[in-house]
C-alpha cells in the first residue's frame, strides 16, 4: 500500500523539438556524419566526423585513457590590443546626434523671440478672457427693445402753463407740471432747510418751469391729487399727506418728497424723454 504512491506514472515532456519537416531536432547530434566508406568491406579510412583536437578528445594518461572536453576554448584571435589602426575615434557618447545645426546662432535674438512668443500668447489669452467676461456681462443688460419700451416721450408744447399732465411710465403715473412764474417763486422762497426731507427746488428740477416727478405718495403708494392741499401742490387722499408746488412733503405722514425720475429735455423737438 505504501508503494502505490511511488508507482505513479509520470509523463515527461518531450525533450526534443520537432523541425517543420518532421525530423526531431537534436542540436548535439551530427546527422551529417557518414559511416566509413567501405563499412568493413575494406581498409577503413579516417572518419570524417572526427572532433578537432582543440575541442577535447581521448588522451592516454598514467591511469589509463582519459576523455576530456574543453569548455573554455582558447582564443583564436590575438589577445593583445592593436595600437595601430584605421578605425574612427571612439566618442564619449557615440549615440548622440549632432545638434549643432539646430542650435540658435544668436542667444539674444533667441531670448527676445521666446519672450515675444510667450507675451503674444499672454496677450491673446488676456484679450479672450476680457472678451468672455464682457460678453457674459452684456447678456445681463437690457436689450434694445426693452430699453425702447422703458422710455416715454411727451410733447411739452401741448401742456399749457399752470396745468398738470399725468402720463404712465413703467406702470407708474408721472406728474408733469408746467409751473407759472408765481409758483416757481413760491417754491424757491420756501425755507427748505427746515423741511422733513430738505431739498431745494433747484435740486428737484432741471428747468424751473417744468416739474417732473413720480406720482406715487411716499407714504403708502397712493396717487396724490393735483392742485389741492394746504400748500397749493398735491394732496394724498389716503392718509392726508400734503405736498407743495415742488413736490416736497410738508404735512401728514409722508416721510419723503415725491421721487424725481431720470429725464432729459430734447430741445430740438420740444420734448421731454422720461427714462
Partner 1 sequence: MPFSTTLYNTFFRRNSIFVPTLFVGAFAFGIGFDSGVTAFFDRWNKGKQWKDIRHKYVEAAEEE
Straight-line distance from the first to the last Cα atom of the chain, in angstroms, rounded to the nearest whole number: 115
Query: Residue 114 Cβ, how far from partner 1 at the closest point, in Å?
Result: 9
| 24 lies in the site for partner 1, by CB under 8 A | no
Which of 111, 196, 206, 207 is the binder for partner 1 (CB under 8 A)? Answer: 111
Partners of 199 in the beta sheet? none
From 19, 23, 104, 123, residue interacting with partner 1 (rule: CB under 8 A): 123
| H or E, element range at 264 | strand 263-266
Counting Cα atoms < 13 Å in the Cβ hemisphere of 32 gives 5
One of 30, 59, 131, 203 touching partner 1 (CB under 8 A): 131
Residue 109 touching partner 1 (CB under 8 A): yes
Residue 108 in contact with partner 1, rule: CB under 8 A: yes
Q: Measured between alpha carbons, how far is 90 from 151 in angstroms, rounded to an integer? A: 90
Single out the residue of 127, 158, 181, 203 in contact with partner 1 (rule: CB under 8 A).
Answer: 127
Would you count residue 122 as binding partner 1 (CB under 8 A)? yes
Hey, which residues between 68 and 107 contact partner 1 (CB under 8 A)? 106
Least Cα distance to 67 among 76, 79, 57, 75 occurs for 57
The torsion defined by the Cα of 93, 96, 97 and 103, in degrees rounded to 10, comes to: -100
Closest approach, Cβ 108 to partner 1, in A, equals 5
- Enumerate the β-bridge partners of residue 234: 226, 243
Q: Is residue 213 within 8 Å of residue 249, measured between CB atoms?
A: no
- Cα–Cα distance for residue pair 216/171, rounded to 1 Å: 11
Residue with cell 396717487: 223
Q: How near is the Cβ of 269 to partner 1 at its closest, in Å? A: 15
Nearer to partner 1, 129 or 220 (CB): 129
Q: Which of the residues 39, 41, 178, 239 is marked catalytic?
A: 239
Q: In whole angstroms, how close is the CB of 227 to partner 1 at the nearest point?
A: 42
Q: Would you call 41 a catalytic residue per the annotation?
A: no
Cα separation, 219 vs 255, in Å, equals 6
Distance, in Å, from the CA atom of 88 to the CA atom of 86, rounded to the nearest integer, reads 7
Q: Is 132 in the site for partner 1 (CB under 8 A)?
A: no
Taking CB under 8 A as the criterion, the residue among 116, 149, 198, 255 binding partner 1 is: 116
User: Near partner 1 by CB under 8 A, which window of 15-23, 32-40, 118-126, 158-166?
Assistant: 118-126
Cα gap 166→136, rounded to integer Å:
39
Q: Which is nearer to partner 1, 119 or 255 (CB)?
A: 119
Is residue 51 at the binding interface for partner 1, with CB under 8 A as the rule? no
Which residue, 59 or 120, is less far from partner 1 as judged by CB? 120
At 59, which helix (H) or strand (E)? strand 56-61
- Which residues are identified as catalytic? 239
Interacting residues toward partner 1 by CB under 8 A: 106, 108-109, 111-113, 115-116, 119, 122-124, 126-127, 130-131
Amino acid at each position: 500500500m505504501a508503494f502505490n504512491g511511488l508507482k505513479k506514472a509520470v509523463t515527461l515532456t518531450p525533450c526534443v523539438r520537432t523541425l517543420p519537416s518532421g525530423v526531431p531536432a537534436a542540436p548535439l547530434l551530427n546527422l551529417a556524419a557518414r559511416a566509413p566508406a567501405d563499412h568493413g568491406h575494406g581498409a577503413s579510412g579516417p572518419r570524417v566526423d572526427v572532433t578537432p583536437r582543440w575541442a577535447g578528445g581521448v588522451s592516454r594518461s598514467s591511469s589509463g585513457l582519459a576523455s576530456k572536453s574543453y569548455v573554455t576554448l582558447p582564443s583564436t584571435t590575438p589577445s593583445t590590443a592593436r595600437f595601430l589602426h584605421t578605425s574612427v575615434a571612439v566618442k564619449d557618447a557615440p549615440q548622440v546626434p549632432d545638434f549643432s545645426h539646430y542650435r540658435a546662432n544668436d542667444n539674444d535674438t533667441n531670448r527676445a523671440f521666446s519672450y515675444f512668443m510667450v507675451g503674444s500668447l499672454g496677450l491673446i489669452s488676456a484679450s479672450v478672457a476680457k472678451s468672455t467676461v464682457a460678453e457674459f456681462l452684456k447678456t445681463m443688460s437690457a436689450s434694445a427693445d426693452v430699453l425702447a419700451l422703458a422710455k416715454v416721450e411727451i410733447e411739452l408744447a401741448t401742456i399749457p402753463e399752470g396745468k398738470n399732465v399725468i402720463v404712465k411710465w413703467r406702470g407708474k403715473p408721472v406728474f408733469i407740471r408746467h409751473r407759472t412764474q408765481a409758483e416757481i417763486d413760491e417754491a424757491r422762497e420756501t425755507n427748505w432747510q427746515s423741511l422733513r426731507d430738505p431739498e431745494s427746488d433747484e435740486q428737484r428740477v432741471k428747468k424751473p418751469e417744468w416739474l417732473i416727478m413720480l406720482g406715487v405718495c411716499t407714504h403708502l403708494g397712493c396717487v396724490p391729487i393735483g392742485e389741492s392741499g394746504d400748500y397749493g401742490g398735491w394732496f394724498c387722499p389716503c392718509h392726508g399727506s400734503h405736498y407743495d408746488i415742488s413736490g416736497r412733503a410738508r404735512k401728514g405722514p409722508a416721510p419723503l418728497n415725491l421721487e424725481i425720475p431720470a429725464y432729459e429735455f430734447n430741445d430740438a423737438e420740444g420734448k421731454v424723454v422720461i427714462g
